[in-house]
Amino acid sequence: FTLKDQSQKDVKLSDYRGKNVVLIFYPLDWSPVCSNEHACFVNDLKQFEKLNAQVLGLSVDSVWSHKAFADKMGIQYPLLADFQPRGSVAEKFGIFLPDKGITGRAIAIIDKTGKLAWFKDFGIPNVPDLKEVSQALEQVK
């Protein structure tokens, strides 16, 4: 896929070949649970970098919302706008909720070759356990 990030740069999943990708699907910028989730990733980003992983956030919000949210939260990793057509990338992972018009909350780990290595749907009201995600990432070769 290719999506725009908060800086309006095109980001392709294939740009990260040779590196593991932690793809964070989340419902919306600014919601309390999503804010807490991203605060956790911001605080633990070094842990993911040590594991040769690129963190990417993805929701149906616009690049403008992502820009303001990233600035407010101190997010340095790309936030991808799955905006038009709405939820098209999340739908490929089975995590788009068309009845609500939002992305569910899940994390996918894409390995260095571009294959899905781990996936977990956490449910909208739950902040993912980053220790669980780190452990899963450690298992990805």
Q: Which of 24, 28, 34, 90 is catalytic?
A: 34
Active site residue 34: yes
Please answer whether residues 37 and 26 qualify as being in contact, where contact means their C-beta atoms are separated by less than 8 angstroms.
yes
CA dihedral 120, 86, 102, 99 (to 10 degrees): -110
CA dihedral 95, 114, 119, 50 (to 10 degrees): -120
Residues with catalytic roles: 34
